[in-house]
Chain A
Amino acid sequence: MARMKFVCDSERCIECNGCVTACKNENEVPWGVNRRRVVTLNDGVPGERSISVACMHCSDAPCMAVCPVQCFYRTEEGVVLHDKDVCIGCGYCSYACPFGAPQFPSQGTFGARGKMDKCTFCAGGPEENGSQAEFEKYGRNRLAEGKLPACAEMCSTKALLAGDGDVVADIFRTRVVHRGKGAEVWGWGTAYGSQTAGTPTNGVTK
Chain B
Amino acid sequence: MRRLPATVALVSALVLLAACTEKPQTNAHGVRLDAAPWTGTGTKPDTGTAFTASGWQIGDRSSWEQHLKTRAQNQNEYNRIN
Binding site for B on A (CB under 8 A): 1, 60-61, 64-65, 70-77, 81, 83, 85-86, 123-126, 128-130, 141, 143-148, 152-153, 155, 158, 161-164, 167-168, 171, 174-175, 178
Contact = CB atoms under 8 A, between A and B. Distances in A.
A163 B69 contact: yes
Interface of B: 25, 27-28, 30-43, 48-49, 51-53, 55-56, 64-65, 67-69, 71-78
Nearest to A146: B53
Contacts of A148: 68, 71-72
A71 B30 CA distance: 10
Given A73-B28, A86-B32, 19 more contacts: A1-B65, A81-B34, A123-B37, A129-B34, A130-B49, A141-B41, A143-B68, A145-B52, A146-B56, A146-B71, A147-B71, A148-B71, A155-B75, A158-B75, A161-B72, A163-B69, A167-B73, A174-B78, A178-B78
A182 B75 CA distance: 19
Contacts of A81: 34
Nearest to A127: B34
5 contacts: A123-B37, A143-B68, A145-B53, A147-B53, A163-B71
